[in-house]
Amino acid sequence: MTKVPSEVKIIAGLEIFSGLIYLMYFLALYSPIFLIISIIGFIIAFGLLHLYKWAWFLCLFFSLFGVISGISVMIIEFYYITISVFPKIIIDIMIILMLLTKDVRKEFKI
């Protein structure tokens, strides 16, 4: 197994943290979609730690989707949900910026 760079470990850690957030949403709201998203997050983190190219693409896709949907929710229901959505948007933006760095793309051969 190749040595995983620290940047990729940080991205995987943020992805695990996102998965835990969605797992807490599932436990609070009993909505199966949150459980599915949580499991996908953990699978992506596993793929990132093993430097799989598909994990890089899925992580980028879901992070972009998270930013777009989070901003949409903030615009629609600004007062009620901003506090819970804003940290997730920041995490997704951090993941996107780190995924697009030259060193990380080089590790995933993208």
Position 55 scores a pLDDT of 94
Residue 77 CB burial class (10 angstroms; 0-12, 13-18, ≥19): exposed
Residue 45 within a domain? yes
Pairwise CA distance, residues 25 & 36, whole Å: 11
Residue 98 within a domain? yes
Residue 109 within a domain? no
Number of domains in the chain: 1
pLDDT band at 22 (very low <50, low <70, confident <90, very high): confident
What are the CA-CA distances from residue 31 to residues 14, 34, 36, 100 (Å)? 22, 6, 9, 32
Q: Which domain holds residue 14?
A: 6-102
Residue 10 within a domain? yes
Its pTM surpasses 0.75: yes
- Mean pLDDT, the chain, whole residue set: 87
Per-residue pLDDT reduced to its tens digit, 37-95: 889 989 999 999 999 999 999 999 999 998 998 888 888 876 666 677 788 888 899 99
Residue 108 within a domain? no
Name the nearest CA neighbour of 5 among 56, 78, 71, 80. Answer: 56
Residue 107 within a domain? no
Residue 1 within a domain? no
